[in-house]
């Protein structure tokens, strides 16, 4: 058993060994084996002819060199890098109502406030959920939101998932403080599977923040396969924020999808900064009447990073709304493909759906491809989509330089301005700050000292373009800048 677990590469034997190691009920083993069959029979998605080739590159990744399962260390102590990462989390220890920490293949920490426990909220690792809430897991795990046969990578995920997070919010429970999850990879040649299953019962609400990070050196790549399934029952509201800041030796495949009952809503916030290759799929299935979804996305790619981002707003019920807004900048030799689809099913009358995606190219060698798609099967629909790819406008640059700003700084300011509309849509202050810092750091000019760019980012954080962020209506003797609540 342990021998099969210690193997590299994926096999049917390894699936069985993993399931036995976890002591799973037979239905889960059968599900894993079904998924393994599909994995073996399904070709990897290769993209279209003439695209930027990222999916082909992903298909050639050496999956056989990976360890499918990394047993947790016995003593449960966390390495300093992860402790450090946890203390710098987007949601601090005093600001969150719950915490889940996954390291490689295992959930190593779960915390939930006593108050939420007493109100029936369940936050646990997925193994525990399989044992204690088997009926729920059996019904929702990779069946509707991200079916295991979605593609080859979801099949692999279903066959080899480990770790995993289960969150259940009972009817009417509204969780104000965010729940934080951090997924860490700190081993080369590892395959880590992060699975998040959220069931928000009627009229409940929660904010959930998931961070993907890594802490290991070297060229030997690891793989992170993440699946997020969100179910919102009638009138439930979920805000799901994810920050992908993986090291450049990590390849990642992400599938996130929500299934909406009536009048429920999901706000996806997605920030992609790190990894070598990321294939990210994000969708909302607006099945219930009056349900709504929003996707706000930001990315910044450099060096040889490659991202493929696919979004889907699937309108099924009556009078559903969706809005997708993604802004990204590329530099060096990086490549990004964005494929945004609005699908309005027959009978989905009074749909309102909007999508816009904008790429800013900052080098001659980066490439972006944006394909917005629209399929409309109903006749009372308001939908629009648009995508642009462009460079920094030379006339804007000249205008700023004619006012004394050096070229580096003028470019940085234009890029900051480009991101501002999406950053304004992010409600989590810490993420907005993190993204602004990342953008300023990547745009740091040749003449600017560290102190200069730290100041530049602080100014941006303070002044931004928030309406009323800097008040001019106050007596002049007051020194500090007033920050208005949002």
Partner 1 sequence: MASELVIKNLHASIEGKPILRGVNLVVRQGEVHALMGPNGSGKSTLANVIMGNPKYEVTDGEIWFKGENILEYSPDRRARMGLFLAFQYPMAIPGVSVANFLRRALEAVREGPRPAGEETPSGKPAPRKTIPPAEFRNLLREKMKLLKVDNSFINRSINDGFSGGEKKRAEILQMALLEPEIAMMDETDSGLDIDALKIVSDSVNALRGPKLGLLVITHYQRILNYIVPDFVHVMYDGRIVRSGGKELALELEEKGYEWLRPEGSEVGVND
**Phi-psi region at 293: left, alpha or beta (left = phi > 0; alpha = psi -120 to 50):** beta
Cα–Cα dist 266/274, whole Å: 24
State in angstroms the smallest separation of the CB of 25 from partner 1: 53
Determine, following the binding rule CB under 8 A, whether residue 26 of this chain makes contact with partner 1: no
State in angstroms the smallest separation of the CB of 297 from partner 1: 16
- For partner 1, the binding residue among 406, 428, 440, 442 (CB under 8 A) is 406
State in angstroms the smallest separation of the CB of 309 from partner 1: 21
Cα–Cα dist 170/186, whole Å: 34
CB closer to partner 1 out of 160 and 460: 460
- For partner 1, the binding residue among 135, 176, 478, 486 (CB under 8 A) is 478
CB closer to partner 1 out of 336 and 423: 423
Helix 394-401 × helix 407-423 angle, to 10°: 120
Q: How many CB atoms lie within 10 A of CB 241?
A: 24
Determine, following the binding rule CB under 8 A, whether residue 125 of this chain makes contact with partner 1: no
Nearest to 386 by CA among 442, 427, 340: 340
Determine, following the binding rule CB under 8 A, whether residue 416 of this chain makes contact with partner 1: yes
Determine, following the binding rule CB under 8 A, whether residue 447 of this chain makes contact with partner 1: yes
Nearest to 269 by CA among 90, 105, 147: 90
Site for partner 1 in 373-402 (CB under 8 A): 393-396, 398-402
State in angstroms the smallest separation of the CB of 481 from partner 1: 5
Determine, following the binding rule CB under 8 A, whether residue 27 of this chain makes contact with partner 1: no
The CA-atom distances, in angstroms, between 403 and each of 128, 188, 288, 344, 374 are: 62, 49, 53, 48, 43
Determine, following the binding rule CB under 8 A, whether residue 410 of this chain makes contact with partner 1: yes
Strands 250-260 and 222-232: parallel
- For partner 1, the binding residue among 414, 431, 440, 443 (CB under 8 A) is 414
Determine, following the binding rule CB under 8 A, whether residue 470 of this chain makes contact with partner 1: yes
State in angstroms the smallest separation of the CB of 368 from partner 1: 19
Nearest to 316 by CA among 351, 287, 342: 287
CB closer to partner 1 out of 27 and 399: 399
Q: Is 41 exposed, middle or buried (0-12, 13-18, 19+ CB in 10 A)?
A: exposed
- For partner 1, the binding residue among 43, 403, 485, 486 (CB under 8 A) is 403
CB closer to partner 1 out of 80 and 451: 451
Output the six-digit token pair for 44.
Answer: 């990897």
Total site size for partner 1, rule CB under 8 A: 47
Determine, following the binding rule CB under 8 A, whether residue 452 of this chain makes contact with partner 1: yes
Q: How many CB atoms lie within 10 A of CB 4?
A: 18
Determine, following the binding rule CB under 8 A, whether residue 468 of this chain makes contact with partner 1: yes
Determine, following the binding rule CB under 8 A, whether residue 94 of this chain makes contact with partner 1: no
Determine, following the binding rule CB under 8 A, whether residue 469 of this chain makes contact with partner 1: yes
Determine, following the binding rule CB under 8 A, whether residue 448 of this chain makes contact with partner 1: yes
Q: Looking at 114-122, 162-170, 383-391, 459-467, which segment touches partner 1 (CB under 8 A)?
A: 459-467
State in angstroms the smallest separation of the CB of 108 from partner 1: 41
Cα–Cα dist 170/264, whole Å: 14
Site for partner 1 in 417-446 (CB under 8 A): 417-421
Q: Looking at 10-18, 172-180, 232-240, 407-415, which segment touches partner 1 (CB under 8 A)?
A: 407-415
CB closer to partner 1 out of 117 and 482: 482
- For partner 1, the binding residue among 60, 87, 449, 485 (CB under 8 A) is 449
Determine, following the binding rule CB under 8 A, whether residue 458 of this chain makes contact with partner 1: no
Cα–Cα dist 331/364, whole Å: 8
Determine, following the binding rule CB under 8 A, whether residue 80 of this chain makes contact with partner 1: no
State in angstroms the smallest separation of the CB of 109 from partner 1: 39
Distance from chain centroid for Cα 364: 28
Task: Output the CA torsion sign for 123, 128, 131, 136.
Answer: positive
State in angstroms the smallest separation of the CB of 270 from partner 1: 20
CB closer to partner 1 out of 29 and 405: 405
Cα–Cα dist 411/400, whole Å: 9
Determine, following the binding rule CB under 8 A, whether residue 64 of this chain makes contact with partner 1: no
CB closer to partner 1 out of 27 and 398: 398
Residues binding partner 1 (CB under 8 A): 393-396, 398-407, 409-410, 413-414, 416-421, 447-449, 451-452, 455, 459-460, 463-470, 472-473, 476, 478-481
């Amino acid at each position: 058993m342990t021998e099969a677990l210690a193997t590299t590469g994926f096999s049917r034997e390894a699936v069985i060994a993993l399931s036995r190691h976890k002591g799973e009920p037979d239905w889960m083993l059968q599900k894993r084996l079904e998924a393994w069959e599909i994995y073996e029979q399904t070709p990897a998605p290769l993209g279209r002819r003439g695209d930027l080739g990222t999916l082909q590159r992903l298909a050639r990744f050496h999956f056989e060199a990976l360890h499918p399962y990394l047993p947790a260390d016995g003593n449960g102590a966390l390495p300093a890098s992860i402790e450090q990462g946890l203390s710098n989390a987007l949601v601090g220890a005093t600001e969150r109502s719950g915490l889940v920490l996954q390291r490689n293949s295992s959930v190593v920490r779960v915390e939930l406030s006593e108050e939420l426990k007493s109100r029936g909220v369940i936050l646990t690792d997925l193994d525990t959920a399989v044992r204690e809430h088997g009926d729920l897991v059996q019904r929702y795990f990779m069946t509707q939101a991200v079916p295991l046969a979605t593609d080859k990578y979801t099949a692999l995920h279903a066959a080899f998932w480990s770790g995993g997070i289960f969150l259940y919010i009972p009817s009417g429970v509204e969780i104000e403080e965010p729940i934080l999850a951090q997924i860490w990879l700190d081993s080369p040649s590892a395959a880590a599977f992060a699975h998040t299953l959220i069931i928000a019962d009627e009229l409940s609400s929660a904010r959930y923040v998931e961070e993907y990070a890594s802490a290991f050196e070297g060229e030997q790549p690891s793989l992170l396969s993440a699946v997020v399934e969100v179910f919102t029952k009638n009138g439930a509201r979920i805000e799901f924020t994810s920050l992908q800041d993986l090291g450049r030796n990590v390849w990642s495949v992400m599938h996130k999808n929500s299934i909406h009952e009536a009048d429920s809503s999901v706000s996806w916030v997605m920030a992609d900064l790190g990894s070598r290759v990321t294939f990210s799929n994000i969708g909302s299935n607006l099945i219930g009447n009056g349900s709504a979804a929003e996707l706000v996305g930001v990315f910044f790619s450099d060096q040889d990073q490659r991202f493929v981002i696919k979004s889907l707003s699937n309108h099924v019920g009556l009078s559903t709304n969706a809005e997708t807004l993604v802004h990204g900048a590329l530099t060096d030799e990086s490549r990004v493909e964005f494929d945004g689809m609005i699908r309005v099913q027959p009978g989905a009358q009074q749909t309102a759906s909007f999508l816009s995606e904008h790429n800013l190219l900052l080098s001659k060698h980066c490439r972006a491809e944006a394909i917005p798609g629209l399929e409309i099967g109903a006749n009372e629909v308001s939908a629009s989509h648009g995508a642009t790819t462009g460079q920094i406008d030379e006339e804007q640059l000249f205008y700023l330089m004619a006012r004394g700003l050096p070229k580096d700084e003028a470019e940085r300011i234009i890029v900051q301005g480009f991101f501002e509309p999406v950053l304004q849509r992010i409600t989590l202050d810490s993420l907005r700050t993190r993204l602004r810092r990342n953008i300023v750091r990547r745009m740091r000019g040749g003449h600017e000292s560290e102190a200069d760019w730290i100041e530049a980012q602080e100014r941006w954080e303070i002044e931004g373009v928030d309406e009323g962020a800097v008040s001019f209506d106050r007596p002049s003797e007051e020194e500090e800048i007033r920050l208005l609540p949002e």
